[in-house]
Amino acid sequence: MNISIHQVMLPQDDPDAALRFYRDVLGFEVRNDVGYNDMRWITVGPPGQPETGIVLYPPSATPGITETEQQTITEMMAKGTFASINLASTELDATFERLQAAGADVVQEPTDQPYGLRDCAFRDPAGNLLRIQQLT
């Protein structure tokens, strides 16, 4: 059996800001941009990796979500504690400099971690944590 990661879901509460960040700052390709009523789902992914995507979705569209749960999600997104993703770069320091120069919200500068990785961290416009690890 061959199982791979096809898409991951990250919440967004401002599709235009999410699009600018993932397309213009990170340099991802836009693979799909679908609207329905006042909601929008945007699929992006790294160039050259068409089999892997990130779906930026409106969390209010989650089936069965209650108003209380939606409020909790909104509060957690605002604090940056709801969702995260780990990315990787062969040139971590250059990637960090480019994202910082583009105005990305820096959480952590490139750091050698005690568990053997070198990484940095940013938040996207919705508050999602993006850790970027150095590929060796």
Domains in the chain (CATH in brackets) are: 7-134 (3.10.180.10)
* Confidence at residue 126, expressed as pLDDT on a 0 to 100 scale: 95
CA gap 46, 129 in Å, rounded: 17
User: How would you write the pLDDT of the chain (136 residues) with one tens digit per residue?
Assistant: 888 889 999 999 999 999 999 999 999 999 999 999 989 999 999 999 999 999 999 998 888 999 999 999 989 998 889 999 999 999 999 999 999 999 999 999 999 999 999 999 999 999 999 999 999 8
Exposed/middle/buried for residue 89 (C-beta within 10 Å: 0-12, 13-18, 19+): middle
pLDDT digits (tens, 9 = 90+) for 13-30: 999 999 999 999 999 999
Rg (CA), the chain: 15
List beta partners, residue 32: 43
Mean pLDDT taken over the chain = 94
